[in-house]
């Protein structure tokens, strides 16, 4: 049996991950509140706009990211209503509404961001647009067996949160998610279509428990599989609710 084992969203891009029990998926939309906000830096290309906000989707290069600020990878998030509680092993905890508490959020993030990089500048959100690395409304999917096999190859217990995926699936063969490309999947009340593999960056070398780079995941992928792909992107083609434990059916 193939089942959904984890649903994970990242309300603020690169600033905290949160496991949830269920989610309503909408056709043509990303996972609700996944990358809903992002933190732009002073070098952002849209900084000259009258309100300092982009007009639509904007490249990841405009935002704070874990690949540059490793400490960000150790932030956890918990949404309650319109507020998010962020916690970090060294920075402690803060509860904010990103739309109202910009100054407090940027101040909390300041010591977690490299001082030699353009400083955090604004909290960004774009109506009906996830601020993910791609403009398409992708959900990311990985099989738990893939993570287990790579962990065994490396001799390291890799946290699933290194990969910032939305949906984790039990019951697939290692790297079996690549066999789903081009197929449709029924998951709970929703149907998803799988499009392409995800090519990984150095953010995955960082341990989300510590915020320190401690495992060369990219070398392990290249040595083991001759590529840097891990997980696949999918879109919602039929709306419906999903929940942990739901059975996945390949259509």
| DSSP code for 102 | H
- Per-residue model confidence as pLDDT tens digits over 151-186: 999 999 999 999 999 999 999 999 999 999 999 999
The residue among 145, 164, 158, 140 whose CA lies nearest residue 220 is 158
The residue among 204, 197, 202 whose CA lies nearest residue 233 is 197
DSSP string, 42-61: TT-TTTTSTTS--SS---GG
- Whole-model pTM? 0.96
User: Could you tell me the domains of the chain?
Assistant: 3-29+135-250 (2.40.33.20), 37-125 (no CATH)
- Per-residue model confidence as pLDDT tens digits over 99-143: 999 999 999 999 999 999 999 999 999 999 999 999 999 999 999
User: What is the C-alpha separation between 182 and 216, in angstroms, rounded?
Assistant: 30
- Distances from the Cα of 147 to the Cα of 22, 161, 239, angstroms: 22, 11, 28
pLDDT band at 226 (very low <50, low <70, confident <90, very high): very high
Burial of 217 (0-12, 13-18, 19+ CB in 10 A): buried
CB 4 within 8 A of CB 248: yes
50, two tokens: 């009258």
Give Cα 20 to chain centroid, integer Å: 13
**What 3-state DSSP class applies to 86?**
strand
User: What is the C-alpha separation between 201 and 164, in angstroms, rounded?
Assistant: 11
- Provide the percentage of residues in the chain whose pLDDT is more than 70: 99
Q: Would you say residue 46 has pLDDT above 90?
A: no
């Amino acid at each position: 049996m193939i089942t959904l084992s984890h649903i994970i969203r990242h309300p603020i891009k690169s600033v905290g991950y949160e496991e949830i029990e269920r989610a309503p998926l909408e056709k043509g939309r990303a996972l609700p509140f996944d990358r809903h906000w992002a933190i732009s830096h002073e070098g952002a290309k849209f900084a000259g706009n009258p309100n300092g906000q982009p007009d639509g989707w904007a490249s990841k290069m405009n935002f704070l990211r874990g690949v540059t600020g490793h400490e960000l990878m150790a932030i956890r998030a918990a949404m309650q209503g319109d507020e998010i509680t962020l916690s970090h092993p060294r920075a402690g905890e803060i509860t904010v509404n990103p739309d109202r508490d910009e100054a407090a959020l940027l101040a909390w993030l300041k010591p977690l961001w490299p001082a030699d990089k353009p400083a955090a500048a604004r909290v960004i959100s774009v109506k009906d647009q996830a601020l993910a690395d791609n403009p398409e409304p992708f959900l990311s999917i990985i099989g738990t067996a893939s993570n287990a096999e790579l962990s065994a190859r490396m001799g390291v217990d890799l946290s699933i949160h290194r990969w910032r995926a939305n949906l984790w699936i039990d019951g697939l063969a290692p790297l079996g998610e690549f066999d789903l490309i081009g197929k449709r999947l029924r998951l709970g009340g929703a149907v998803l279509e799988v499009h392409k593999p995800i090519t990984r960056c150095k953010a995955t070398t960082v341990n989300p428990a510590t915020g320190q780079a401690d495992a060369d995941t990219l070398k392990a992928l290249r040595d083991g599989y001759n590529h840097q792909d891990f997980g696949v992107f999918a879109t919602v083609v039929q709306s419906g609710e999903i929940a942990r434990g739901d059975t996945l059916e390949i259509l």
